[in-house]
A and B are shown apart, each in its own frame.
Chain A
Amino acid sequence: DTGVSQNPRHKITKRGQNVTFRCDPISEHNRLYWYRQTLGQGPEFLTYFQNEAQLEKSRLLSDRFSAERPKGSFSTLEIQRTEQGDSAMYLCASSPRVGGVGNEQFFGPGTRLTVL
């Protein structure tokens, strides 16, 4: 399967714990996005990478959230000191460098986080 992959698919954690999610984009895609989606809402943009550069991070929900893409390939999203309000689906998407930023994004299956 050459699509976007995310691991783990499900994560259950206790409040106060740290969690890290991984996203492997489509190999030739240099753009990578992280989103959060809650029930009944559309995906909410969190951050954006072009290669290894994090070009937009102003929408990360708090300083407990951070993301990296150290070699311009896979990315990780970390949430420190999780809270129950962090429970959501975390989606990763990638897109090719074609025709500017406004092009198709390919989404991974998401990581569903449950904070107890």
Chain B
Amino acid sequence: RKEVEQDPGPFNVPEGATVAFNCTYSNSASQSFFWYRQDCRKEPKLLMSVYSSGNEDGRFTAQLNRASQYISLLIRDSKLSDSATYLCVVRSGGSYIPTFGRGTSLIVHP
């Protein structure tokens, strides 16, 4: 089993739709969780951190489920500009190594 797994998609949704991605991780000692966004041929950029209590930033909501070892990203009222690859990042306690998932591709169409 891979350390961090994501459905590569693509998720193809119309503007205005709500879409959710999950990311599962295998190491129960994982402590830090993030969602990054990567546009085509660009570098990744932090979208949001994922806290135990969840995190909301405008149309974006991230949740952590430690019991089932996954994090989720919910995007409400999708915009064309949300089209990108969304990377899940997990780091285990005591480790310097952030592990990225392969990313989930989102395509928002008119």
Contacts and interface: CB of A to CB of B under 8 A. Distances in A.
B97 A105 contact: no
Contacts of A41: 102-103
Interface in B66-110: 87, 91, 95-103
Main secondary structure of the interface of B (DSSP, over half): strand
A1 B44 CA distance: 17
A107 B4 CA distance: 20
B17 interface: no
B40 to A, nearest CB: 11
B97 A42 contact: no
Contacts of B49: 104
Interface residues on B, range: 20 to 34
Given A45-B97, A48-B97, A101-B32, A107 B43 contact: yes
A109 interface: yes
B101 A55 contact: no
B95 to A, nearest CB: 8
B96 A56 contact: yes
B31 interface: yes
A110 B43 contact: yes
Contacts of B96: 48, 55-56, 101
Given A41-B102, A102-B31, A109 B97 contact: no
Contacts of B46: 104-106
Nearest to A102: B32
A42 B100 contact: yes
B60 to A, nearest CB: 15
A40 interface: yes
A35 B34 CA distance: 17
A21 interface: no
5 contacts: A42-B103, A43-B100, A101-B32, A104-B34, A110-B43
